[in-house]
Amino acid sequence: ALVLQWDAAERPWAGLVLVTGTVRHVLALEATGGRWRIPAEAWRTLPAGGRFEVSLSDGADATLLVVPRR
pLDDT digits (tens, 9 = 90+) for 7-36: 999 999 999 999 999 999 999 899 999 999
Counting beta carbons within 10 angstroms of the beta carbon of residue 14, is it exposed (0 to 12), middle (13 to 18) or buried (19 or more)? buried
Average pLDDT score over the chain: 92
pLDDT at 70 over 90: no
Strand partners, 38: 2
Of the given ranges (3-12, 23-32, 36-45, 51-60), which has the lowest mean pLDDT? 36-45
Please answer whether residues 31 and 4 qualify as being in contact, where contact means their C-beta atoms are separated by less than 8 angstroms.
yes
In angstroms, rounded to a whole number, what is the distance separating the alpha carbons of residues 20 and 11? 26
In angstroms, rounded to a whole number, what is the distance separating the alpha carbons of residues 50 and 57? 23
**3-state DSSP assignment of residue 1:** coil
